[in-house]
Structure 1
Amino acid sequence: MRNDWGGQKFPHPAGRKPIAGDALGADPLKPLQSTLRRSVGLGPIFELKIFDQKFVVVAGAELAAELADESRFEKALSPALVALREFAGAGLFTAYNDETDWALAHDLLRPAFTRDAMRSYHPIMLAAARELFDQWDAATGPVDVSADMTKLTMETISRTSFSTDFGSFTRDEPHPFIPAMIAALRAGQRKGTLNSMPGAAVMAKRIDKRNAHHLAYVDNLLDEIISARRASPDVDDHDLLGIMLHTPHPETGERLDDVNIRHQILTFLVAGHETTSGALSFALYYLSRDPALLARAHEEVDTILGPDRDVEPTFEQVPKFRFLRRVLDEGLRLWPTAPAYARSPREVTTLSSGHVMRPQDWALVLLPAVHRDRTVWGDTADEFDPDRFLPENSRGRPTHTYKPFGTGERSCIGRQFALHEAILVLARMLHRYELTHDPSYELSITERLTLMPEGFELGLRLRTPSAGGAASAPGAGDQSEPSRTCPASSSDQSGLNATSQGCPSGSATYPE
């Protein structure tokens, strides 16, 4: 994992020390946000030296777009992902590029994210949201938005992944699997953070010993679920677990073994629920702070869903919430919940910055910086403005400059799942409730595997939707955005969502 780049030098923050390097200027609880602050004035590529580990960071949009070229570059595993492998193994998110199980799992799971598959998940998403709203209707004070969004997305992903209900909205205490999973995940993160420090190996052993029972519980529970499903071939197999258990590769006939299936489930649970809950939380934060934007959101949901606050969006209606999609896009621009990814070259190459990069070298693409590059996003790059994703404002924007779901063939396979769920939940929530925020609250972001607002609460009051437009009216919704298929080439392997190709929000289609 040592990343020396052949001794090449890069700009770095002031105050570097002989042994600790740049570690003393970092916030150990919020390393990404402190890196974002320290990056000011360092240019599009810089380095941080944390004891004996060099982190080369790309903050410029042009250089990030260069690293997105799949013919020259590929995914690399940062120290954080290497540490996560001890928990999630060779899942889609943590596998090395040359591990054959990654390609097998990717091919087998693609059908799980087609339009027909998404249609089957839609009622499961609605049911989980209904349970949340039952809890909110009974609330007597403000609700903890991030905590509740995390419960919601955990229930959705567990029910669609392996048909398991953790009872997040019915139990007095969390299902034991959830704290065990969180503890095991945090242990891996701590080991990744300590990796470059003196004495890291000794500290890692202590962490492993303290958390071994958590990891064993998670592994054993999932293994029992997998074993029980193998023993019941007549059980409905339309969830992700069923696909992995019973679907051979269409060309080779290969199947995933049970250990790798466990790793894939863990990957979906860990990466899938936190990213979506964070996206929802940031969207609600920005909407609740801006009465004009909130009024536009209410107008859109009332136009599409009509005057009954209990009505639920149909599958076909979800893509019509184009303003809500722009709100999500803009929240993910400012605070991409998966905030960085690493890239390495396939062979020795020279970057446009003049630096020579070898296959053993890797660079971190710092998305909150790339998404604020003024050469792409203008002088208002730090401001929340969903209309920057209108078609007329997106047209001509350079490709590969908006990457909240990663890039290339290793980008997030579940991005359409996440967007469908997030839009559905936002639409139902805004149709049902008036939101009130605490004006004294200042956005504070906690850094786990993902970014998430912390301490963010909202007051809720049942609202009476406007009796304006009818839900069934043709073209109901934002008339400024015609519904059409994104012209991005179907052969493109960039893994971009529609807006990164300059397409209107919400116009991306599911794979057939």
Structure 2
Amino acid sequence: MRNAWSGHTFPHPPGRRRWMKDAHSMDPERPVQHILEHHRDLGPIFEIVVFGQKFVFVADAELAAELNDEKRFVKANSPALEGLRGIAGDGLFTARNDEPNWQLAHDLLVPAFTKQAMQRYHPVMAETLDELFVVWDSGDGRVDVGGDMTRLTLETIGRTGFSQAFGSFTTDEVHPFVEGMVTALTLGRRKGVIGALPGARILERRLDRRHADQLDYVRGFLDDIVRSRRTAATTGGDDLLGIMLDQAHPVTGQRLSDENIRYQILTFLVAGHETTSGALSFAFYYLVRHPDVLAKAVAETDAILGDDPDATPSYEQVPRFRYLRKVLDEALRLWPTAPGYARSPREATTLGGRWTMTPDDWALVLLPLVQRDPAVWGEDADVFDPDRTRPRLASTAKPFGTGERACIGRQFAVHEATMALARILHRYDIAGDASYELTINERLTLMPEDFHVTLTRRRPATGGTPLPAVEDAPAAAAVCPYTGSTSG
């Protein structure tokens, strides 16, 4: 993972030291925000060397577009992802490109995100929202956005994917799996940072021992899910777990092992709720900061859902919330909850016409910088504007990753987040705390921290004619908001 780049030296923070190199210029608890605040002026490509580990960051949309070319480049596992492999193994997110279980799991699970599958998930998403509303309606109106969005999305992916409920709406206590999962994510990030330190293996073993009980609980909890389904009278099912347990690859006849199924469950529980809850939380942050945007979003929900505050959109109606989708997309442009991905060349090549890369080299596409590149997004690139005109190279906005290793469940996330946002805005007036300053918690994902809003039941506007459902709307196609293309 030393990332030599054929001896190239890139711009780097000032004050490089002999042994520590640039370690003093990093904040290990909030590295993404620290780079945004202190190092974004280093140029389109820059490096931060921590002891012996070289991190090369790309902040330029032109270079990112080149790295996204699947004919020349592939996904690379960053040190943070390598650090997560201790618990996530060769799951879809952490598998290396040459590991066969990635292709096997991907081929098996693609049918779990077709339109037909999404139509089965839709009512479960709606029922889970209903349970959240019961909790909110019985409370004092003050809501911890990040916490409640996490409960909502965890319950949704648990129930739709694995028929596993977490009891998120029946107790104020955080499920121990959630605590263990957060520990695993934080541990992965820390291992990615300390991997180049002298004595790194000793430090990593100490971290593993310190958190062994929580990590063992996570493994045991996931193994119990698999074991319970296997011993049930009927092991089948059309959810993710049923597919992994019962189906073989249609060509090779191969099946996933129980160990790999555990890795895949963890991957989906993490990726299926952490990123979506973060996207919703950032969307609400910007909505309460921009009353004009909030008013337009609410008007759209009233036009589509009518005057019943309890209305639930049909599956076909969800894609009609086009302005809400713009809100989500713009929030993800500014704060992509998965803040970057690493890319390596398939063979030796030259990046940007200047820098030699070999398959042993990798660059981190840092999305909060790429997606704010003023050459693409304009001088107001840091401003939240859902009506922003689609610029050149807007396709470099990649909050769900890129290429064949992009998030397999992105259409699930978009559908879930759009419906949740629509129903919440239709049902409640939302007010934020004007004194709140955005604070972001960095695990492997980004999430607003200590962000609260006040909810008040509302009566939707009357007198308008609800828009009709679109019978064949492409809800499961995951349309890219910037290119109009689809991916699956």
TM bin (shorter chain): over 0.9
Aligned to 2:6: 6
Shift of the 137–254 alpha-carbon distance from structure 1 to 2, 3 Å rule, reads same
Aligned to 1:28: 28
Do structure 1's residue 105 and structure 2's residue 100 form an aligned pair? no
Instruction: Give the partner amino acid of 2:269.
Output: L
| Cα shift at 1:235 | 4.8
Q: Distance in 2 between matches of 1:289 and 1:97?
A: 42
Q: TM-score, normalised by structure 1?
A: 0.91
Aligned to 1:401: 396
Aligned to 1:425: 420
Provide, for residues 186-232 of structure 1, a one-character-per-residue CA deviation record: whole Å limited to 9, x for no partner.
Answer: 33332222212223222211111122222222112211221221223
2:408 paired residue among 401, 410, 413? 413
Q: Distance in 2 between matches of 1:420 and 1:155?
A: 15
In terms of mean alpha carbon deviation, does 218-227 or 159-168 score higher? 218-227
Do structure 1's residue 364 and structure 2's residue 364 form an aligned pair? yes
Instruction: Give the partner amino acid of 1:407.
Output: T
Shift of the 268–412 alpha-carbon distance from structure 1 to 2, 3 Å rule, reads same
Shift of the 233–117 alpha-carbon distance from structure 1 to 2, 3 Å rule, reads farther
Aligned to 1:323: 323
Aligned to 1:479: none
Aligned to 2:431: 436
How many residues of Structure 1 are paired with residues of Structure 2 in the alignment? Answer: 487
Contact kept? 1:61, 1:373, Cα under 8 Å = yes
Contact kept? 1:64, 1:400, Cα under 8 Å = no
Do structure 1's residue 457 and structure 2's residue 452 form an aligned pair? yes
Q: Distance in 1 between matches of 2:50 and 2:113?
A: 40
Q: TM-score, normalised by structure 2?
A: 0.96
Provide, for residues 18-44 of structure 1, a one-character-per-residue CA deviation record: whole Å limited to 9, x for no partner.
Answer: 221111122221111111233333221
Q: Which residues of 2 match residues 170-249 of structure 1 at below 5 A? A: 170-232=170-232, 234-235=234-235, 237-249=237-249
Q: Distance in 2 between matches of 1:300 and 1:348?
A: 50
Instruction: Give the partner amino acid of 1:448.
Output: R
1:499 paired residue among 477, 481, 485? 481
Secondary structure at the counterpart of residue 48 of structure 1: strand
Secondary structure at the counterpart of residue 69 of structure 1: coil
Secondary structure at the counterpart of residue 9 of structure 1: coil
In terms of mean alpha carbon deviation, does 341-350 or 185-194 score higher? 185-194
Gaps of 5+ in 1: 477-482, 491-495
Aligned to 1:278: 278
In terms of mean alpha carbon deviation, does 223-232 or 8-17 score higher? 223-232
| Cα shift at 1:500 | 3.4
Instruction: Give the partner amino acid of 1:298.
Output: V
Q: Distance in 2 between matches of 1:343 and 1:230?
A: 38
| Cα shift at 1:385 | 0.5
| Cα shift at 1:429 | 0.3
Shift of the 219–330 alpha-carbon distance from structure 1 to 2, 3 Å rule, reads same
Secondary structure at the counterpart of residue 65 of structure 1: helix
Secondary structure at the counterpart of residue 47 of structure 2: strand
In terms of mean alpha carbon deviation, does 230-239 or 404-413 score higher? 230-239
Provide, for residues 237-256 of structure 1, a one-character-per-residue CA deviation record: whole Å limited to 9, x for no partner.
Answer: 01100011111111111111
Do structure 1's residue 338 and structure 2's residue 320 form an aligned pair? no
CA RMSD of aligned residues (A): 2.0
| Cα shift at 1:179 | 1.9
Provide, for residues 106-156 of structure 1, a one-character-per-residue CA deviation record: whole Å limited to 9, x for no partner.
Answer: 000000000010011111111111111111112215211011101111111
Q: Distance in 2 between matches of 1:328 and 1:185?
A: 24
Q: Distance in 1 between matches of 2:146 and 2:114?
A: 29
Aligned to 1:260: 260
Q: Distance in 2 between matches of 1:316 and 1:459?
A: 30
Shift of the 343–233 alpha-carbon distance from structure 1 to 2, 3 Å rule, reads farther
